[in-house]
Structure 1
Amino acid sequence: MDRQKSAAAAVLILGALLVSTRLAQATEGYFLEGYGAREKGVGGAGAADSRDPLALSINPAGLVDVGHQYTLGLTAFSPDRGYWTSGPGFVAPGHVESGRNLFPIPYGGYTRPIDQQSAWGVAFYGNGGMNTTYSPNYTSQFFVSPFCPQTGVFCGRNAGVDLNQAFITAGYAQRFGNLSIGFAPVLAVQIFKARGLAIFGPFSSAPGQLTDHSYNWSVGAGVRAGLQYRVTDKFRIGVAGSSPIWMSPFENYKGLFANQGDFDIPANITAGVAYDALPTLTLLADWKHIFYSQVPSVGNPTTQPFQLGVMNGPGFGWRDIDVIKLGAEYRGFEKLTLRAGYSYNSSPIRSRDVTLNILAPAVTQHHISGGLSYNLTPSSSIDIAAVVSPQGTVSGIERTPLGPNPLRTITLYLNTFEITAGWTHRFDAAPAPAIAAKY
């Protein structure tokens, strides 16, 4: 019992530590394609097939299939992002790269059955956030003019933003025959900082709360719920969704974000299928939709004809995106499980909005992943996954506070690499042999 309590306490402590972790530009906008090593290895799929506590991040109904276990891990996330230009214009020209190219992202979870038909669990994880850090050595062609008093991408020296999002969730699931239902309240913490944007002061409703403040905290809550249904012994379906996570506003940046600093986390829905092609091989496919457009500070067009920070004012112009995730898991070896996956998402950024999204160039669309678990003992395994996102780009004309500049084209780019290592321990008796099917 003391061992079990210690495991749960470790999860909660590490969850608190996640709040202070600085994260990087992610892949599905600012959502990660998966949060644990198992999910990442299969391309982020899993709405219909749950095997570890990070099921809480996709579909809490799957808790009833996970058993008594905990998992802990760390992702090393490395993005290469920035932009390049052609033609004369205002922002610093040429090939401009963001600094800070390595970020740690921890995760963890703990699950325990209540009886044969119900279970509960807790988990913590983080979104990829938005981060850019541009050097003050980049210089606009208008430097030393009244329009550009300092060096830097936006004539404000160290331009960039840093948004971090951490989640702690607790869930419950109940099985009713072939149907499982689960729900999980979610607590979230965000911190945000912006630098080098003073040039936008005349176009802000609160210039004193626009840029160059210390990190500002925001807290909020929402709920995730879902169901899984076993159609046959080999075929399962799953559906899950998350409400918006309603956050307190960033008071220090109410002159930047629409609706006076509001920055809620958007709702999303997921549907998936899982098929045991062999007793040792499971194929997965998920579809996900993220409602970025429903958060004004994110979804409102950058061309919105209002001042920054006002109600329904300009945002980053992100549109809703759809994500397709495909994965495969092979359990035919005595101690080894192999995984592979691929996901594709539509781009949240339109050509018209590239200028402000220099701060958040979330333009990758393809993600190729693989992973494995190796049983060191009958009850414990090490879990490894890697994800490569080839370079994605979006191009459009420059838009300054004074209007569009058709002479300048800006191309945003982003490519990422991440590797995840984790540990999973099962408190129950030795798990079923690797060759056994899920049902």
Structure 2
Amino acid sequence: MKGNCIRAAAAACLAVWAAHAQATDVFNLEGFGPVSRAMGGTGAAYDIGPGAMMMNPATLGLMSEGRYLGMGLDVVTTNIKATNTATGETAVSGNHGGNNGPYFAPEASFVYRRGPYAFGVGAFAEGGLGTQYGASSFLSRTVTNGIDTGLDNFSRLLVLRVPFAMAYKVNDKLTVGGSIDAVWTSLNLGMLLDASQIGALAAQNRVSGTLLPTLVSVPGLSGGYIDFAHKGIVGGGASAWGIGGKLGLTYRITPDTTLGLAYNFKTHVGDLTGHATLTAVSSVAGNIPIGGDITIHQFEMPAQFTAGISHRFNDQWSVSADYQRVFLASVMKDINVTFVQSGTGANLNLSLPQNYRDINVFGLGAQYRYNEKWTFRAGFHYAQEAVPNGVMLAVVPSIPTTSVTGGVSYAFGKDDVLDFGLSVGMQKTLTNSSAPNTAVPLKVTHSQLNAVIAYQKRF
């Protein structure tokens, strides 16, 4: 019942989800809302509006008094290309199906600020990833026996947060805040593993289960394919609800300089579950599909610590800077998957190595208020590379690290503002020639544009 209520609240806030947002900081968007996005993803010590609920809830206390209703839309366009460096063949992630971009992620929020208190509720896409290589590239052909399987390779991850936030102004210098978040994680995945990759997983004790002897005995086994997907505009073939939360504070060092600290706790969503098909690829019998249920174990979003500072030089110029530590190593060591065959209960367990590193993220932003109507922003955003060489999966690239940002706001009046932010993720290349996550020497290039527009009404 509780889950249904949360779903209804999310649906009311987000009328439609056209897809999801591709992230730059591995799975996280580089800033939330157009103000933060335009200013290099900063916001720990700066008034970024309702996006505070996703970064530092204490900055809700920096907003002027009143009631705020906000509606926004993220639009993400990606350019992802995988190359087999041994043959020169390429696979482009594009218009091959429902997981391809561009991706659209609406957001909605309500904030009430009065006296020392501020309250907020909203629905935001925290991030995700997405690829769609189609069914005819080298990624759909086994190295063992060279079989063109006709099986699609794709991914689609969406992490949605519904924060319930509060801020309290303790005194003229200190404001504290926090949020409790409903978190929904959903995943689509279609991935072919060559028989050589399955052998490498077995050699590393990363594949097991009562279904394994049956698969190994398939004559002419050339590969295995796992597929679970929700074909609609939102959601995944495997999903789950859980909780998350944040704590934060702002401290006014001087009338024009503010320090901000925030901690975003690791989510507690747990196992993602759904229906799936496991396909054995045989050079003798062709594709042999097996229906069943899938579980992705303990797929969580990482904890994050953020420290930021902002300074106002005068009524026109202000700047902000953030440092963030993202604790990916504790949540992305392995992707652990269990498939259970319908009717028989036979199971197959896979553990795909990831070994992500904890990363440092840096953001810089500047704002110039030209007049009462026009405000201009620019910034820079850099996140260290989290994916080690040797573990990248073609369907899970998430490799851009550097973005340049900018944006503009137009005030129709003191209570009506239209904000726009743009982030240009510079092209990044990563390679992997190591089993078990690839059967061929692989190179992936990835760049993207993240735009967000929002309207805010104060009343």
TM-score by length of 1: 0.81
Structure 1 residue 151: Cα displacement: 3.3
* 3-state SS of 2:61 partner: helix
Q: Structure 1: how far apart are the matches of 2:274 and 2:180?
A: 28
In structure 1, the partner of 2:452 is 420
* 3-state SS of 2:352 partner: coil
- Judging changes above 3 Å, is the alpha-carbon distance between structure 1 residues 141 and 245 closer, same or farther for their aligned structure 2 residues? closer
Q: Structure 1: how far apart are the matches of 2:192 and 2:262?
A: 39
* 2:44 paired with 1:47: yes
Q: Structure 1: how far apart are the matches of 2:450 and 2:444?
A: 20
Deviations 1:172-193 (A, max 9, x none): 1111111000010011111112
In structure 2, the partner of 1:346 is 384
Q: Structure 1: how far apart are the matches of 2:140 and 2:35?
A: 48
* 2:301 paired with 1:265: yes
Structure 1 residue 255: Cα displacement: 11
In structure 2, the partner of 1:56 is 53
In structure 2, the partner of 1:410 is 442
In structure 1, the partner of 2:188 is 193
In structure 1, the partner of 2:424 is 388
What 5-or-longer segments of structure 2 have no aligned partner?
1-7, 95-99, 202-206, 213-223, 230-236, 279-293, 337-346
Structure 1 residue 169: Cα displacement: 0.3
- Judging changes above 3 Å, is the alpha-carbon distance between structure 1 residues 190 and 17 closer, same or farther for their aligned structure 2 residues? farther
8 Å contact kept, 1:37–1:371: yes
- Judging changes above 3 Å, is the alpha-carbon distance between structure 1 residues 190 and 341 closer, same or farther for their aligned structure 2 residues? same
Deviations 1:358-409 (A, max 9, x none): 11111111111111111112310111111111101112324247xx87xx53
In structure 2, the partner of 1:36 is 33
Structure 1 residue 259: Cα displacement: 9.0
The structure 2 residue matched to 1:150, chosen from 141, 148, 151, is 148
- Judging changes above 3 Å, is the alpha-carbon distance between structure 1 residues 253 and 410 closer, same or farther for their aligned structure 2 residues? farther
* 2:334 paired with 1:300: yes
- Judging changes above 3 Å, is the alpha-carbon distance between structure 1 residues 190 and 210 closer, same or farther for their aligned structure 2 residues? farther
Deviations 1:266-310 (A, max 9, x none): 111110000112222110000111111111xx23399xxxx9846
In structure 1, the partner of 2:124 is 125
8 Å contact kept, 1:238–1:273: yes
Deviations 1:139-171 (A, max 9, x none): 36965x75554336xxxx101211111110011
8 Å contact kept, 2:365–2:379: yes
Number of residue pairs aligned between Structure 1 and Structure 2: 393
The structure 1 residue matched to 2:170, chosen from 157, 172, 176, is 176
RMSD of equivalent CA atoms: 3.1
Deviations 1:189-210 (A, max 9, x none): 1111211436467754467997
Q: Structure 2: how far apart are the matches of 1:368 and 1:308?
A: 44
Q: Structure 2: how far apart are the matches of 1:301 and 1:250?
A: 12
* 3-state SS of 1:358 partner: coil
8 Å contact kept, 1:11–1:123: no
Structure 1 residue 101: Cα displacement: 2.8
Normalized per residue, the structure richer in strand is 2
8 Å contact kept, 2:89–2:138: no
* 2:264 paired with 1:249: no
8 Å contact kept, 1:276–1:282: yes
- Judging changes above 3 Å, is the alpha-carbon distance between structure 1 residues 50 and 309 closer, same or farther for their aligned structure 2 residues? farther
- Judging changes above 3 Å, is the alpha-carbon distance between structure 1 residues 142 and 123 closer, same or farther for their aligned structure 2 residues? closer
* 2:228 paired with 1:213: yes
The structure 2 residue matched to 1:316, chosen from 341, 345, 354, is 354
The structure 2 residue matched to 1:165, chosen from 147, 153, 159, is 159
* 3-state SS of 1:81 partner: strand
Q: Structure 2: how far apart are the matches of 1:269 and 1:252?
A: 32
One-letter code aligned to 1:242: N
Deviations 1:102-149 (A, max 9, x none): 010112221112x41111111211033121111111136965x75554
Q: Structure 2: how far apart are the matches of 1:197 and 1:342?
A: 37
8 Å contact kept, 1:184–1:224: yes
One-letter code aligned to 2:115: Q
8 Å contact kept, 1:381–1:423: yes
